[in-house]
């Protein structure tokens, strides 16, 4: 699959088939995250793979009762492990993990899998459920599985609305 085809085709999937994700497919998605660039090449992430149904149900509750989180056969909790603040003032972990998760969403789509980037969750609850230590941040939850349906594309702003040249 061409990269731009994956960029244009990826959707947020909120309905999953009751079908396990093969280990080699899961590994390919995780590998895409591992290969992502990071500030100072710190690779300041940790991905917790959750397949256990009871744990997925708890994560769905922590994600504001979004049932589809538990419906996915896999949930990946993407965590940031450093406290580096870049010169621009942004915490490196947040940006580094975001890049890695984006790589995973595109890889998943290219393999026929669906994902939905979840930021609506109570981090303290997720950390407790998964035993995430103090000093580590949970940046995103990523349900992963075979889509029950592909949603239509959503409207996007035009390039002219989001791009400026030389100055604001």
Within a domain: 9:
yes
Please give the residue range of the domain that contains residue 152.
3-162
Whole-angstrom Cα distance, residue 127 to residue 133? 7
Within a domain: 27:
yes
Q: Mean pLDDT across the chain, nearest whole number?
A: 97
- In the chain, the number of structural domains is 1
Q: Report the CATH number at residue 44.
A: 3.40.109.10
Percent of the chain with pLDDT over 90: 98
Q: Tokens 């990071």: give the residue.
A: 38
Whole-angstrom Cα distance, residue 37 to residue 88? 17
Whether the predicted pLDDT of 117 surpasses 90? yes
Within a domain: 168:
no
Within a domain: 99:
yes
- What pLDDT is recorded for position 1? 80
Joined together, the tokens standing for residue 166 give 């030389």
């Amino acid at each position: 699959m061409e990269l731009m085809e994956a960029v244009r085709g990826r959707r947020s999937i909120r309905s999953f088939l009751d079908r396990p994700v093969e280990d080699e497919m899961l590994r390919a998605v995780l590998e895409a995250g591992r290969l992502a660039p990071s500030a100072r090449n710190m690779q300041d992430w940790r991905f917790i793979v959750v397949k256990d149904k009871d744990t997925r149900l708890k994560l769905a509750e922590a994600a504001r009762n979004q049932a589809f989180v538990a419906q996915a056969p896999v949930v990946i909790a993407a965590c940031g492990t450093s406290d580096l603040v870049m010169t621009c003032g942004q915490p490196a972990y947040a940006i580094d993990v975001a890049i890695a998760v984006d790589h995973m969403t595109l890889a998943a789509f290219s393999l026929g899998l669906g994902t939905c980037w979840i930021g609506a969750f109570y981090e303290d609850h997720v950390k407790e459920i998964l035993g995430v230590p103090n000093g580590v941040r949970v940046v995103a939850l990523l349900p992963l599985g075979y889509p029950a349906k592909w949603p239509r594309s959503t409207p996007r702003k035009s390039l002219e609305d989001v791009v400026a040249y030389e100055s604001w």
